[in-house]
């Protein structure tokens, strides 16, 4: 459903471009409703040619015209951006931040009291319309604000709403998780090569197996353990492989990876808050 809002993307990196593409594809916004700011002239020309949206190098000017302001710059440049756009932000605008690790309170301190803020943690599969995004709203954001922010990210995947302190856990799981899955795909493909498959064939089979297995979990609603049991026949090949994985500590390693990534996210957030 169309939002009917002017949306300004301040920063046009990969995630912002994925959102622009998703919004247009889903009909959530029109080309006339999307504004993109970008300091590099060649990137502005690229975005404008590719999507037919208005681009500018002036963050403040676009923020003034927008109903929804999406902060999509790198965390190390956000402070300068917030100072620049602060005069253009008031309680009538919704601010959506995808700057990793930057707390809502830190954004509110720069933009002023009463600003409506939703903080978002997307992940890179959003680039192919298969993202997993978690959203947390600030103290002044309304239910309608949250739904508008969800509509943005539902154009590139699925969304979940959490309390802000849990965004570190989200970062550890779905934010960092693609790296863990890519490693698993690479390892599965290496295994295929080791037992005789050509590299392209092994990679294609490994990636499709992960994709298909995830889709089976989501579409059936079955517990992964139950689906695993359906594959592992008595004395068969799959149970032999599962035993090897258990011997190698796969479960413990993945749990530890999510925990380590969560801990690091928390550390970075505390540093940003200061």
177-194 vs 199-220: helix crossing angle, rounded to 10: 130
Q: DSSP label at 165?
A: G
Q: With both helix axes pointing from N to C terminus, report the angle between 14-26 and 41-51 in degrees, rounded to the nearest 10.
A: 20
Q: Is 10 labeled as ligand-binding?
A: yes
Residues 6 or more apart whose CB falls under 8 angstroms from that of 232 comprise: 238, 239, 242
Query: Is 158 within any annotated ligand binding site?
Result: no
CA-based nearest residue to 67, from 9, 122, 113, 23: 9
Q: Is 12 annotated to bind ligand?
A: yes
Instruction: Tell me how far apart the alpha carbons of residues 38 and 54 are, in angstroms, rounded to a whole number.
Output: 11
Q: What angle do CA 258, 185, 265 make, to 5 degrees?
A: 20
The sign of the torsion formed by the CA atoms of 153, 101, 144, 91 equals negative
Q: Partners of 70 in the beta sheet?
A: 9, 96
205 assigned ligand-binding residue: no
Q: Is 111 left (phi over 0), alpha (psi -120 to 50) or beta?
A: alpha
Compute the distance between CA of residue 119 and CA of residue 107 in angstroms, rounded to an integer.
10
Token pair belonging to 106: 């830190």
59 is in an annotated binding site: yes
Question: d(Cα 150, Cα 136) in Å, to the nearest integer?
Answer: 10
Sign (positive or negative) of CA dihedral 162, 165, 166, 171: positive
Tokens for 90, please give them: 């008031």
Binding residues for NADPH: 59
Binding residues for NADP(+): 10-15
Binding residues: 10-15, 59
């Amino acid at each position: 459903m169309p939002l009917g809002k002017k949306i300004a993307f301040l920063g046009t990196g990969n995630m912002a471009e994925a959102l622009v593409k998703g919004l247009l594809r889903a009909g959530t916004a029109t080309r006339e409703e999307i504004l993109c700011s970008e300091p590099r002239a060649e990137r502005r020309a690229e975005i404008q040619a590719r999507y037919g949206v208005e681009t500018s190098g002036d963050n403040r000017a676009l923020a003034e015209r927008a109903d929804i302001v999406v902060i999509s710059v790198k965390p190390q440049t956000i402070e300068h951006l917030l100072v620049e756009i602060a005069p253009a932000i008031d309680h009538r605008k919704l601010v959506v931040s995808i700057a990793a690790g930057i707390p809502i309170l830190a954004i509110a301190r720069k933009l002023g009291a009463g600003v409506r803020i939703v903080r978002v943690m997307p992940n890179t599969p959003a680039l192919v319309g298969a993202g997993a995004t978690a959203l947390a709203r600030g103290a002044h954001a309304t239910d309608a604000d949250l739904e508008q922010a969800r509509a943005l990210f539902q154009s590139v995947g699925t969304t979940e709403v959490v309390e802000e302190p849990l965004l570190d856990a989200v970062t550890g799981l779905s934010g960092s998780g693609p790296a863990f899955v890519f490693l698993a795909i690479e390892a599965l493909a290496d295994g295929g090569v080791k037992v005789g498959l050509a590299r392209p064939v092994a990679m294609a089979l490994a990636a499709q197996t992960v994709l298909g297995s995830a889709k089976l979990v989501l579409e059936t609603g079955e517990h992964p353990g139950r689906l695993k049991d359906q594959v592992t026949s008595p004395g068969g090949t799959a149970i032999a492989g599962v035993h090897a994985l258990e011997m190698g500590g796969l479960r413990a390693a993945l749990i530890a990876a999510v925990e380590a990534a969560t801990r690091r996210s928390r550390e970075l957030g505390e540093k940003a808050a200061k």
